[in-house]
């Protein structure tokens, strides 16, 4: 009986140790935000490789599926000096030199200003200070906060 329990216990303990060498399915944490691994969109794909703190067997993961993401997107550029029309955008038509010009706009000028009223020079000393400043006298005796 003891041998059977020991055998079952050893089988149960070793099965969890061998469970770390499989593959992973990558599911993004937020919808619409891809998971990029080495320039490849690995969202909803199978990734195989050793990941974790103590696993330095394979540094490059193997990604089954996914699509390559260009780090610098290749967008169309328009250089006017090339003499070609842009692929999209507004159609600009250059007017002729001998066209009828519109009337010049009327003159318009408006200004705002703010200023304070002039005040005399100020200081911290009153204008006519008294000779002696009297402090209020309190003849009432207050009880002490703690009894003696």
Give residue 58's pLDDT.
57
Q: State residue 110's pLDDT score.
A: 92
User: Is 78 part of a structural domain of the chain?
Assistant: no
Pair 35, 41: CB distance under 8 Å? yes
Q: What is the pLDDT of residue 111?
A: 92
Which position has the token pair 């009153």? Answer: 126
Domain boundaries, position 51? 19-68
pLDDT for the residue 99: 92
Integer angstrom CA distances of residue 54 from 20, 39, 60: 12, 24, 15
- Is residue 91, in this structure, part of any structural domain at all? no
Confirm whether 60 is domain-assigned.
yes
Q: How many Cα atoms are found within 13 Å in the side-chain-facing hemisphere of 54?
A: 2
Residue 125 in domain: no
Stretches in the chain below the pLDDT threshold 50: none
Query: Where would I find the beta strands (DSSP E) of the chain?
Result: 23-25, 36-37, 40-41, 46-48, 62-64, 67-68
Within a domain: residue 133? no
Token pair of 50 as six digits = 């050793």
Domain for residue 89, yes or no?
Answer: no
Into how many domains does the chain fold?
1
Residue written as tokens 């200004």? 111
Residue 54 lies in a domain: yes
pLDDT score of 118: 79
What predicted TM-score, i.e. pTM, was given to this entire model? 0.36
């Amino acid at each position: 009986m003891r041998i059977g329990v020991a055998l079952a216990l050893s089988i149960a303990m070793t099965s969890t140790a061998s469970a770390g060498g499989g593959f992973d399915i990558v599911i993004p944490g937020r919808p619409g935000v891809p998971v990029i691994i080495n320039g490849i969109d690995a969202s909803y794909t199978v990734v195989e490789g050793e990941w974790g703190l103590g696993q330095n067997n394979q540094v490059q993961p193997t990604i089954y599926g996914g699509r390559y993401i260009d780090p610098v997107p290749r967008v169309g550029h328009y250089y006017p000096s090339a003499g070609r029309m842009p692929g999209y955008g507004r159609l600009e038509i250059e007017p002729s030199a001998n066209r009828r010009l519109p009337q010049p706009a009327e003159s318009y000028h408006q200004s705002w200003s703010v200023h304070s009223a002039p005040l005399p020079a100020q200081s911290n000393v009153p204008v006519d200070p008294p000779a002696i400043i009297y402090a209020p006298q309190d003849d009432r005796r207050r009880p002490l906060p703690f009894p003696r």
